Structure 1
Amino acid sequence: MGGHKPTLIITDQDPSMKVAIEDIFKSFVHRFCMWHIMKKVSEKVGVSLNGNEDFNKSFKSCVWGSETPLDFETTWKSIMCRFECDKNKWLSHMFDIRSMWIPAYFKEVFLAGILRTTSRSESENSFYGNFLNPHVSLVEFWMRYDSAIEAQRQKELLADNNSLHSLPKLLLDRGLERHGRDVYTHENFYIFQQELWIACVDCAVENKKEEDGMETLHIIDNSEKNSKLREVVYNPSNHNSICSCKMFQDQGIPCRHILCVLKGKGLNEIPDNYIVNRWTKFANRKPLFDIADNVSEKCSEFENDNKLISDLWDHFFKCVDKARMDKEKLHFMLNEVVNIEKQLDEFEGGSKQTKDDDIQTFIGSNIPDQVEILPPKMSKTKGSGKRIKGGKEKAIEQQQKRPRHCNTCNQYVTHDSRNCPQKTSP
């Protein structure tokens, strides 16, 4: 990662990981996975509350829908009092550590709209599980990992091709919408388009106040069940805005309230400060490291080389953009690139390496004709053994068991005479 530490890490509630992460990464944000926590609710609150639809709806609304810490705390206490959960130790503990998992406490942290759970990591584990298993050797692992990366990049190329050579349908045909279609990938454009639609249909400026060159606008949002008044602080000099809903800080896409202000100012293009590079069509056209996928141990020492490679790719893609669908220009560019490729092959050491050459370079020695050293026995590590089942899962399994007759208690139950609770010890 070029010596850069992460800005945010999401884990389950493993206490050892919490201590280790705080010790190593001191200046970053650590949060707990909401999926793991919400999954435990039904088990911890008991059968009666778990089947209470009103409780489940109120609890989820409190956790996911609270916009400020004060809103969350007020709603939480109201729910605990209404459903008599004040003495539940688990819920009390979760309230004590609320800043570690409730979204209202870290809305200023950029989560890319998805990073509230470890699902991203779990999906990657599942993906690589199709290529790997615990029994492969180090060299085989490296080759299979390389194949997995190639498969991911193939999907990425298909998505890039779709974004570059097809256009989503416009709903409003406004300048802002057309510019968003040109800038964003399809997936992110649809999010932007939905926000712009609501900004035009369901949002309006309630009142405006000017002070010290800044404008404070109150936007009435009728798209929700209960109409809400949002505050947007707008700077006319650079079109920069801060909205109370914090959607832009969280997802990197301007919210309906900011778009309502921009629409009212008559803008036909999205200001640069609202365009996050990672959501654009050309985000992957600026490689940060070398093209051969070899991440250097000290990337900072090779900063100039990496910049040169990035500049080279930048000029190459500019040429492709200029050629576009002109066959004459494309043929000219293709011939020139083929000639450059032939000249590069003539350079000393410019021959293309095979997979075997890559492996030999990777392990630092030649591949022997006969392998005499066998791989070591697999050792069990955390997560590789049998998964521990929770109380709720055990109870469900018990309910699914077929009842049978017990000769000891003379009843149709899920046990037999060997493990009957009424059986007396000899």
Structure 2
Amino acid sequence: MNTGSQRSMGGGVHDVLDCLKRMHSENPNFYFAIRGDHDPSIANIFWADAASRINYTYFGDTVVFDTSFRSNGYKVPFATFTGINHHGQPVLFGCSLLLNESEAAYIWLFQTWLHAMSGRTPVSITTEPDGFVQKAVSEVLPNTRLRYCKWGMFRETQNRLGHVYQSHPTFEAEFKKCVNGSETIGEFESRWRMLLEQYHLMNDDWMRSVYDARRQWVPVYMRDTFFGELCAEEYEGRNLCFDGFLTADTTLQVLIKQYEKAAASWHEKELQADEDTSNALPMLKTPSPMEKQAAKFYTRKIFMKFQDELVETMANSATELEESESATSFRVAKFGDGHRSHIVSFNSLETKASCSCQMFEFSGIVCRHVLAVYRAKNVLTLPSEYLLKRWSRNAKGGAILDEHSMQETVNSQQPLTIRYNNLRQQAIKFVEDGAKSIHVYNVAMTALQEAAKKVADMKNQGVGITQGGALANGDHPMASGKPVEEKVKKIQELTAELENTNKRCEVYHANLLAVLKDMEDQKLKLSVKVQNARLSLKE
């Protein structure tokens, strides 16, 4: 699509804006912006909630910009920025309504999104093969690797070459085999020529354009860049975050409700994955210390991916080819499949290795070929540089603020939204850790009570209540210029709400201790009954 288009959604846009304004009033870190606010019914809207902005600090290395809801009969021209968390689950980085599509509109959208993400650019981004999007990425994210959605390329090819698909039922399978099954550039080039010759497409303009764009969508050309891809087919053709929540009949009036339901669902699934990972170590399949190391480091799903690679080393042999002062090269091949091999370069002094398959560069998980060389060279544990924190159990652990942000914490003129964001990031992590066991919970509650007392003491002294409290001009794209007094009142209301929440937590804490005591009493009574039953049996 290379021509602009415009939709008018009438009063539904006002309903969306009202919801977004409410969300921002409830949470200053909820970000939204409008392009074309002189007529909201044909405006473009972007929003990102606080969780999306925080998650981006952990998992914003690779992004998917999904515009599949713009077409395919959907009533709502919806688009999303998404990513992948440490459990391999989809995570949201922002949403938009694209009522007015043009090159300038997409540039605005990407600029606005980047601003909401504090200006941190991703390593890679995957999008539909769209001229407007390509232009926006090149202008706003010039150092980010752009990849076209492979499923989108397959779909568009089927639309353009429908007659070939109908007259040659084998074409689709051969086409996908050429794209997905080629392990080297040379292999892809050879298969591509054979495909064009077999189906008489040597002079086809569409296939020529597809080939010209090969470096932006064919996997073998993209493997030197991190895309965090674990299973490409798992989400092909589906929106990562909203599949099952939006349908072709979804209207603007119900969009935000479905958005909130989806957000709750993602959070619940992540908490469940956290719990599954924390409860116990997964079953090991080898006596390797490396497998035990990985089981303690990775989340459960990522460990399963690593474990598959480690087990495969049993069927792969590493043959030394040549040795130099800096590295030794190995040829690694599966038994019985010697014609398919990979070259691994190994530095024994630093225990570093790189493989021609580039799996680590692409997904962040060490491949079976490198692991086979490690096994041959008796390397028992993974070097730290091959253990990416973004795949770890502790992916959200530790400080996420950079040095500049830490310096800003002592700046009294810092905008309220930044202070709110910094505090909220730390609080979310505190709550997630504190709820995982009763022992940690007790420590967390004690710490919260002490912190609440210190904050109350500072309030009573009247220190810094209004200083730097007003939102900076332009800090939020919908900044209304409300008087400082009103904003101070809002801060005081939020502080009172925090105190009430703390009191409720204390009550919950007391109730929880009472329940635990009752459980201990029941356990003791049951133990006595069991002992009496055993004595009766002996008699």
TM > 0.5 = yes
| Cα pair 2:185 2:221 within 8 Å, conserved | yes
Structure 1 Cα separation of the partners of residues 322 and 266 of structure 2: 50
Give 3-state SS (helix, strand or coil) of 2:200's partner: coil
Is residue 398 of structure 2 the alignment partner of residue 282 of structure 1?
no
Give 3-state SS (helix, strand or coil) of 2:396's partner: helix
Is residue 309 of structure 2 the alignment partner of residue 198 of structure 1?
no
Deviation larger for 188-197 or 205-214: 205-214
How much has 1:315 moved relative to structure 2? 11
Give 3-state SS (helix, strand or coil) of 1:92's partner: helix
How much has 1:198 moved relative to structure 2? 0.5
Structure 2 Cα separation of the partners of residues 87 and 309 of structure 1: 60
Is residue 190 of structure 2 the alignment partner of residue 78 of structure 1?
no
Give 3-state SS (helix, strand or coil) of 1:159's partner: helix
Q: How does 1:359-370 map to 2 (within 5 A)?
A: none
Structure 2 Cα separation of the partners of residues 316 and 135 of structure 1: 35
Q: How does 1:98-117 map to 2 (within 5 A)?
A: 98-113=214-229
Is residue 459 of structure 2 the alignment partner of residue 348 of structure 1?
yes
| Cα separation, partners in 2 of 1:87 and 1:213, compared to 1, 3 Å | closer
User: For residue 380 of structure 2, what is the aligned residue in structure 1?
Assistant: 268
Give 3-state SS (helix, strand or coil) of 1:237's partner: coil
| Cα pair 1:195 1:256 within 8 Å, conserved | yes
User: For residue 237 of structure 1, what is the aligned residue in structure 2?
Assistant: 349
User: For residue 283 of structure 2, what is the aligned residue in structure 1?
Assistant: 169
User: For residue 222 of structure 1, what is the aligned residue in structure 2?
Assistant: 335
Aligned residue among 294, 301, 311 for 1:180: 294
Aligned residue among 366, 371, 380 for 1:259: 371
User: For residue 10 of structure 1, what is the aligned residue in structure 2?
Assistant: 126
Note the alpha carbon deviations across 1:375-409, whole angstroms, 9 max, x for none.
xxxxxxxxxxxxxxxxxxxxxxxxxxxxxxxxxxx
Is residue 322 of structure 2 the alignment partner of residue 209 of structure 1?
yes
Give 3-state SS (helix, strand or coil) of 1:283's partner: coil
Structure 2 Cα separation of the partners of residues 303 and 146 of structure 1: 34
User: For residue 526 of structure 2, what is the aligned residue in structure 1?
Assistant: none
User: For residue 122 of structure 1, what is the aligned residue in structure 2?
Assistant: 239
Structure 2 Cα separation of the partners of residues 63 and 83 of structure 1: 16
User: For residue 412 of structure 1, what is the aligned residue in structure 2?
Assistant: none
| Cα pair 1:34 1:116 within 8 Å, conserved | no
User: For residue 19 of structure 1, what is the aligned residue in structure 2?
Assistant: 135
| Cα separation, partners in 2 of 1:343 and 1:26, compared to 1, 3 Å | closer
How much has 1:15 moved relative to structure 2? 1.6
| Cα separation, partners in 2 of 1:170 and 1:120, compared to 1, 3 Å | farther
Structure 2 Cα separation of the partners of residues 186 and 91 of structure 1: 41
Is residue 203 of structure 2 the alignment partner of residue 87 of structure 1?
yes
Structure 1 Cα separation of the partners of residues 150 and 307 of structure 2: 28
Q: How does 1:310-329 map to 2 (within 5 A)?
A: none
Unaligned runs of 5+ in 1: 291-298, 351-360, 368-426
| Cα pair 2:245 2:258 within 8 Å, conserved | no
Give 3-state SS (helix, strand or coil) of 1:124's partner: coil
Aligned residue among 331, 334, 338 for 2:449: 338
Note the alpha carbon deviations across 1:40-86, whole angstroms, 9 max, x for none.
33343344544645433322121012233332122101121122221
Letter in 1 for 2:241: E
Structure 2 Cα separation of the partners of residues 300 and 127 of structure 1: 41
Is residue 145 of structure 2 the alignment partner of residue 33 of structure 1?
no
Structure 1 Cα separation of the partners of residues 438 and 139 of structure 2: 57
| Cα pair 2:246 2:258 within 8 Å, conserved | no
Letter in 2 for 1:340: A
Unaligned runs of 5+ in 2: 1-116, 410-418, 463-477, 488-539
Structure 1 Cα separation of the partners of residues 401 and 158 of structure 2: 46
| Cα separation, partners in 2 of 1:308 and 1:22, compared to 1, 3 Å | closer
Q: Percent identity?
A: 22
Is residue 273 of structure 2 the alignment partner of residue 159 of structure 1?
yes
Aligned residue among 321, 337, 359 for 1:247: 359
Letter in 1 for 2:280: S
How much has 1:308 moved relative to structure 2? 8.7
Note the alpha carbon deviations across 1:340-398, whole angstroms, 9 max, x for none.
33443454189xxxxxxxxxx9866579xxxxxxxxxxxxxxxxxxxxxxxxxxxxxxx
| Cα pair 1:10 1:116 within 8 Å, conserved | no
Of the two structures, which has the highest relative contact order with CA contacts closer than 8 Å and spacing of 6 or more?
2
Structure 2 Cα separation of the partners of residues 278 and 56 of structure 1: 36
| Cα separation, partners in 2 of 1:314 and 1:16, compared to 1, 3 Å | closer
User: For residue 392 of structure 1, what is the aligned residue in structure 2?
Assistant: none
TM normalised by structure 2 equals 0.54
Structure 2 Cα separation of the partners of residues 226 and 264 of structure 1: 18
Structure 1 Cα separation of the partners of residues 159 and 430 of structure 2: 57
| Cα pair 1:188 1:279 within 8 Å, conserved | yes
Q: Which structure has the larger Rg over C-alpha atoms?
A: 1
| Cα separation, partners in 2 of 1:147 and 1:79, compared to 1, 3 Å | closer
| Cα separation, partners in 2 of 1:336 and 1:210, compared to 1, 3 Å | same
Is residue 246 of structure 2 the alignment partner of residue 134 of structure 1?
no
| Cα separation, partners in 2 of 1:114 and 1:120, compared to 1, 3 Å | farther
Structure 1 Cα separation of the partners of residues 159 and 425 of structure 2: 55
How much has 1:240 moved relative to structure 2? 1.1
Structure 1 Cα separation of the partners of residues 262 and 150 of structure 2: 29
In the alignment of these two chains, the number of paired residues is 339
How much has 1:7 moved relative to structure 2? 2.7
User: For residue 376 of structure 1, what is the aligned residue in structure 2?
Assistant: none
How much has 1:101 moved relative to structure 2? 1.4
| Cα pair 2:430 2:444 within 8 Å, conserved | no
Give 3-state SS (helix, strand or coil) of 2:312's partner: helix
| Cα pair 2:148 2:217 within 8 Å, conserved | yes
Note the alpha carbon deviations across 1:102-156, whole angstroms, 9 max, x for none.
11212101010159799598222447749x95247xxx95x98677545433332
User: For residue 531 of structure 2, what is the aligned residue in structure 1?
Assistant: none
